[in-house]
Amino acid sequence: MGYTDSTGSHDLNMRLSQQRADSVASSLITQGVD
């Protein structure tokens, strides 16, 4: 599981959030989850 906080700028947190979501999606696709 991940941990998040409100430290950093809004833009940075949005980029990190998107990268995290992309990573999860990629992992699920690699495992054959559609």
pTM given for the model: 0.73
Ordered DSSP codes for 1-34: -----S-S-HHHHHHHHHHHHHHHHHHHHHTT--
The pLDDT tens digits along the chain (34 residues) read: 566 778 889 898 889 889 999 999 999 999 999 7
Nearest-angstrom CA–CA distance, 12 and 18:
10
